[in-house]
Amino acid sequence: MTNEINIGNLTIEPNLALAPMAGVTDSSFRRLIKELGGVGLIVTEFISVEGITRGNMRTHRMMRFLPEERPLSIQIFGYDDERMVAAAEIIQECGADIVDINCGCPAKKVVNGGGGSSLLRDLPQLERILRRVRKAVSIPLTMKIRTGWDDASINAVEVARLIEDCGGDMVAIHGRTRMQGYSGQADWDVIAAVKQAVSIPVIGCGDITTPEQALARLAESGVNGVMIGRGAIANPWIFRQTSELMRGEEMYQPPLADKHRVLHRYHELLRDELPERALTGKLKQMCGYFTHGLAGGARLRERVFHSQTISEIYDQIDEYFASMIERGVPPDALTREERAFVDPEPRDPKNAEFTRSAPVTTG
Ligand SMILES: Cc1cc2nc3c(=O)[nH]c(=O)nc-3n(C[C@H](O)[C@H](O)[C@H](O)COP(=O)(O)O)c2cc1C
């Protein structure tokens, strides 16, 4: 099994990608993941073609990235082919390695405008977009899709063939329908069928939370690579661990001190990017994701949630880690209540924890 993916003229190695996540995969988070190692491809949060082409400042800030994030894919969403082309050209000029089109966002706001997963129901428009964007840019063009609009209209194979026919260089597929949102389980049989149907690379996505699962999905479905979203928020070392497992090496198990350090590092990366208020919200959100599964994590989350300032947040975090390290508590020693709290089911992004600072939840 090779652990490279060739996307157009680009070689991605290893074949592990950070999934695009609105409100999460901003430049700071992407750099944090890159620093921890093992990730082959990084994708931005989805960015509106309307905002890009109308020169919206906030949107343009979302497109900024640093060289250490490469290879980087910028994801766009929209409906109008004229604007899609103009946005893709701007992205190419910005120096992105890949332009990715979102064809999976289930959010009403996006779908009502004809974009995101709505394009799965409008293949003529999807084809127009793909053909025109393909002609306009020379960087690799990829698309992220879902399995279909609903159970009665699963058409991922047809869509993937269309992407290939229009000159797309890779398709990433989240194994749920639009109507499913984030409920139920990702359907990896559909992902495997897509892989069988096309000769461009296919990246599978959905519900991977451990390195072992990542390897099993690669082997069983035959996909060229896997993409990990929520599993990387809860465990940002998942890419490093999966790469180690692929090489047959011993997997890194982060000690508590490393988890503590990562929360500080995230703050360092974020503080130049955001005003204090937004920064406080984002740190609370990240602390929430990150302490799931840690002994005493629920208590810490409660305290952090009620903190007013960044220094109060970090006082709580520092105190928690100092006490855990002093007591020699293993990072995964959960109380019974906490074990019940760590939900084995994929969490619903409609749940406030995933959306608190996200402009819109997509994918
Ligand atoms: C908070 C959040 C935001 C998301 N934003 C995007 C997005 O901007 N673009 C996209 O294509 N998918 C988005 N997704 C979907 C993910 O990329 C991924 O397909 C999905 O979460 C399933 O993978 P996972 O089980 O590994 O999380 C988002 C998911 C979450 C949880």
CA-nearest residue for atom 12, ligand 1, is 363
CATH number of the domain enclosing 242: 3.20.20.70
> Which residues contact residue 125 at a Cβ distance below 8 angstroms, ignoring those fewer than 6 apart?
79, 81, 114, 119
Claim to verify: residue 206 and residue 67 sit in the same structural domain: yes
Residues 209, 92 share a domain: yes
C-alpha closest to that of 14 among 25, 4, 2: 4
**267 and 223, same domain (yes or no):** no
Question: Looking at residues 103-130, what average pLDDT do you find?
Answer: 97
Q: Domain check: are 98 and 233 in the same one?
A: yes
Does 297 lie in the same domain as 241? no
Does residue 213 belong to any structural domain of this protein?
yes
pLDDT beyond 90 at 327: no
Tens-place pLDDT, residues 231-287: 999 999 999 999 999 999 999 999 889 989 999 999 999 988 888 888 999 999 888
Burial state string for 198-216 with b = 16 or more CB within 10 A and e = fewer than 16: bebbbbbbbbbbebebbbe
Q: Which domain holds residue 193?
A: 5-246
If asked whether residues 171 and 211 sit together in one domain, one would say yes
% of the chain exceeding 70 in pLDDT? 90
> In the prediction, which pLDDT does 216 show?
98
Tens digit of each residue's pLDDT (9 = 90 or more) over 328-337: 776 555 444 4
Q: Which two tokens stand for residue 215?
A: 């390897």
Q: Which pTM value belongs to this model?
A: 0.91
Q: Is 94 among the catalytic positions?
A: no
Catalytic residue among 103, 105, 205, 287: 105
Of 224, 246, 268, which marks where a domain is finished? 246
- Alpha carbon distance 306, 327 (integer Å): 25
The number of domains in the chain is 2
The C-alpha atoms of residue 283 and residue 229 are separated, in whole angstroms, by 18
Q: Is 204 in the pocket of ligand 1 (CB under 6 A)?
A: no
Residues 136 and 196 in one domain: yes
- Same domain flag for 196 and 285: no
Residue range 103-121: average pLDDT? Answer: 96
- Within-domain flag for 251: no
Final residue in a domain of this structure, among 246, 277, 293: 246
- Residue 363 domain-assigned? no
**For atom 21 of ligand 1, which residue has the closest CA?**
229
* pLDDT tens track for 204-229: 999 999 999 999 999 999 999 999 99
| Same-domain status, 235 and 305 | no
Same structural domain, 279 and 236: no
- Packing angle, helices 310-327 and 256-271, rounded to 10: 170
In a domain, 265, yes or no: yes
Same domain, 133 and 269: no
**Residue 134 within a domain:** yes
One domain for residues 188 and 103: yes
Domain boundary among the residues 213, 246, 279 is at 246
